[in-house]
Structures are given as C-alpha cells and as structure tokens.
Structure 1
Amino acid sequence: MEITGILDEALERLHRSGPERLGRLTNHAPMAVEALAAHGQAGAVHRWLDRYARKLEEFPSRVEPVTAADWRSALGDPGRAADWIGYFERELAERPWREVLTGWWPRLLPGMYGGSTHPVIRVGHAVRTLLFAGTTEPRLTELAHGLGYWAARHRPVAVAAALPGVGSAAAALDAVPLIAVQDGGFPARLDRVGALPVWAAEVAEPGDAYGRLADLVRAATHRYATHGHGEETMLVHAATAPNAVLRILPALPHTLWPSSLRAAWTASAAVTAMYAPAVSVPYVPPGAVTPEEVFERALSHGDEHVIKLTDTALDVGDERALAAALRAMELSAPLG
C-alpha cells in the first residue's frame, strides 16, 4: 500500500464536503482516493479529484449535538449527518479508534442497508488505511465521517421469509429470487425483498465466518462479469459492501465476526435480488493483463464505481475478478 501525505491532503480537502449530494446520492470521492493511494496511484489523486469536484457539495449544517444520552433519537436521521460526524470526531479524539469502532459496530451493523450500503463501504476504506498505513488526524476524521454517515443513514431491513439454504456462496447468490418489479430507487426496491436463501445463519466460529465472507466477496465479484448488465452501478455493491465488512473484521473482536458475516450476506443478496438480470451473458476472459494494468485502466476510465469494483477485484486477485473489473469499464460511462 502506497500511502503518502497526498492521501491526507485529499482527505482534508474532502472533509469540507458533505457525505451526499442532491439529498440522496453518495459522495464517493473519499473511497475512490483511498483506493487510488492503496494501489500505487497516489500521484493521480488530486487530478482525479479535480475531475470529480463537480459532484461535491458543501458540508451540511448542524442541527444540535448528538450525545450519549440521546443518540437513539438521532439514529437514521439523514438531516443529522453533520451532528453525527461531529459526535464521532469527539469520540475519536478521546478514545482509541478501534475502541470506538468496536463499541458502535453492533449498533450500526443492523442498519448497514441505508445509503445504498455506501456508509459501511466508506468505513471499510477508512479502516484499511488505519490498519495498514497508521493513524493521522485526517484518517481519523475520515473514519468519523464514515461512521457519522452510517449513523445518519442507518436503515435496518427485515426479510419476511427464509428460503432453504444452499452450499457455496456462488450457488447462494444464484438462488436469490429477484423482486417482481425492478424499478424505483434503492429504498423502494429494498422494501420489496421478501425472501432470501439461508446461507450464513449457522456460522458461529470466527474463522469460519471470515472464510465464508471471503468466499462471498469472491463469488459476488465473479458474478458481476456475467450479470453486471442488470444495473452496472448498483450491482457493484453486491461485492463492495461485503468486502468492506471483510476489511473491517481484523479491527474487531472475533466475537463480532459471525454477525458481521450475516449482515454482509443480507446486503449482497438483497442487492442481487433488487438489480440482477434474469439472464446472464457468457463469461469473457480478461486476456493477458496484469492487475496493475487493470487498475490503470480503471483510473483512466475514472468512474468511481469502476475504481471501487476494481479495487475489490484486486483483493480477490484471480482471472474472473479481473474480468469483472473490465466488464464494469465496458458497461459504465467514464467520468467526465
């Protein structure tokens, strides 16, 4: 991981912006610049940000401080995003970041489906940098922004019916029934998810949970290569949301790993139900390309979801994952 002062500069630049724009669309820049830095492209961070700048909005106004006494009333209120970010900035200034993350993880995990799963993805990028590149003030502030966004967009999901379980992660995703009407935004579609296969409910051992989650990330990434045309942007999250959880697990006590797996499975399966096409396309091998070349192509393409899926594909690290990244570039419009 090539992390330099450039990433910290970019994060400071971005922390003047809010976590969303147009009242509902996520600011992806903090996640994308972290991915660029993590894959040796720190030198391109500010140039990419200049291209993305038109999608940034000013930091939202504060309403009133969130406190330890009244946080429950503010949970899931997007109008309190600034208040939540301020709360976590104070918490992280007073206590070690792993302690704050561990304390809030069981509270936030049931609501990881708000904001189209982007809040947990942002936290995953922040935690990766803290784990592998060390602590700086901008990196702690980035974790505060991610956790605060998550708390503001906190949205649980209740799946009414559990379908019979299946073996592998790939088979489980194939068994997900599609919602009957695939239109509308993420919240409306999520309300229509009525049944999902049981896949991770029986997992109790932390090591098993980690392995199953890694299998899920691999299967969802591979599946994009043949199913991404269902919705080229939203289906990215079937892979990037569970991968965010996988990146966060090493910072959490092992006792929290099984519940994290179950929440990640629900997220990936729900996105699949909401956006996957009924018919796949044939798999196209990526050809003779290296992971570094694929990431350079993603940077040139510029789309934030392409960059993030490619980042996850490189974590998976095999041929089918690279094919998925190239498929995302083919399907998605480049960043203007």
Structure 2
Amino acid sequence: MRYTTIIGSVALLMVPAAASAGECQPTFASGNQSLVINGTEIEPGGLAAQDFQVLVQNAAAGATSTRSIVGVPPCEAVIRIARKGAPPISGYPPFVISASGNNQVEILENDTSGGSVSSNVEIGGAPSWIFKVEVPTEWGLQAGTYVEYLELLLLDRNGDGSTITDRRDLTVTIVIPPAVSLRLVGAVVGGGGSNEPARVDLGNLSSSTSTQSEPFAARIFSTTPYIVSFNSINLGNMVHEQGRDQVPYRLFFDGALVNLAGTAEFFYPDHTPQGGDNRPMSVVVPPVVALAGRYSDRVTVTVTTM
C-alpha cells in the first residue's frame, strides 16, 4: 500500500471591515486658537472682523476624515461655542460669532448648557469650517484690552447628539485704542471735520448792550477720559481787519469762563457715550465803542485723550 502525503497551504485573508456608523468619532484636527482684534478704527458704523478656521476629523479606526466611507453614512458632527468662567465684565465690547453662511452663533453660558438651533453649527461631513468674529467699533467703547475665554465643543451627531467628543480653547482678545473726535455744532459755519475752521458770526456789535452769539457746542467723542484746552491767537481779543484796533470778548465753555489770556484746560474723567458729550459754548462781547470794520480772533480747541 502506498501512502501519499499531500501537504497543502491555506491562506487566511483578513479584510478589515469598513468603519460603521457606531465608529464615528469626530475630533478636532486643529488646536487651541487665540484671536487678537487690534488696529481698530473707532467711527460711526465701524466694524472690525477676523476669521478663524476649525478642522474636524473622524478618529475612528480606518477613517481619515469626516467624509463618507464606502457604504457608511457621513460622520456628522455639531460644533457649539460656550464660555469658560464668568460672563464678560460690564463695558466689554460686544461681539458676535457667525459660521459659514452668515449664521450667527449663540454663545452658551457654559459647556453644560443645552444646545439650540442658534447655538448648533451642523457641519455634516465637511472637514473644515470657517467662523468669523465681528466687533462693532463705534463710539461709546472704552479704551483697553479685553479678553474672553471661550470653548469650542464638538458633539457626535450620529450618536445621542449630546455627548461632547472633543473640545478646544478659543481666546478672543479685543484691543480698543485711545481715540478722540471733535465737532462744533449749532450756530457755526464749517467745523464739521474739514480743515476749514468753524466760524461764529456775531453780527453788528453794540455800544450800549452786550452782544452774545447764538448757542453752539463742542460735540466730543472719546474712548478715554479727556482734556479740552483752548488757545487764542490774540489772547481773548478780536482784532480789526487792518490791525488798527481790538475788542475784548469772553468765551464760555460748558458753563465756565475760559481764560484765553492764560492756561485754559477742562478735565473730564470718563469716556463718552455713543452719542458723545455735548459741551455748550457761547461768545459774549461787552458794550464797545471801536473803529468800524471786521474784527476776528482764532481760537484753537484741542481735545486730548488721557
């Protein structure tokens, strides 16, 4: 009897299964982010903005992104933004965060706050998302550096929709610079911001009664406490157009007599509201007998931030 020995080999082939929906593990592919909004222009209708990008990936085995794997639904996720710690202090410049598509995102009070339609950013299978921080930079802000600590939260939409799978810090720093603006308003000609000086026309002077200007005012905008100072070319006198005579006058600012012959400064300890501070002004000329003609003086009003 012959025995025949047959030796064969068996190859075992293992084919890894595609990641299932249960293996969807969205994580942030980008790290902590810090935004500094600086160099802002303070002006009516002013707006400063800065974008930042958030990258998301699927950390499940065999998955390389949040996009679909063959035969498997997309790894969908939700991004929320929440505060870390206390709410911003009073006077903190207001800002809004919007996601791609110009949808404003509600900032949650903390990471345990329930989400809403306005707080949930549905990213679907997209691996990146663009956010924008916008800060209105109109008058009424106070100069300073403001920092708010936020947190980006990532939730698995394929799961129970409430489990935070990853988080990243988002620090927003807003720098409001010292800035000031001055306009003369009321019974003046010019002075609305152009290089041409404002003019106050007193009309004909009287030899028997005082002549007073129509009411006008200095409208001041400042992000800091400020000082208002005055300088008269002729030290409180209006000089004849031919230099042959002069007429003394008095200038009042915010109810006080301005010393045009010496130092004249007024200190205000606070920044101005959005509409600015209106400081009333007037010019009074005592009864006068002088040569006929036009008389004038030039007064420089300077507003300085503190």
TM range (shorter): under 0.3
Structure having the higher helix fraction is 1
The TM-score, its normalising length taken from structure 1, stands at 0.19
In terms of Rg, which structure is larger?
A: 2
Structure having the higher strand fraction is 2
The TM-score, its normalising length taken from structure 2, stands at 0.21
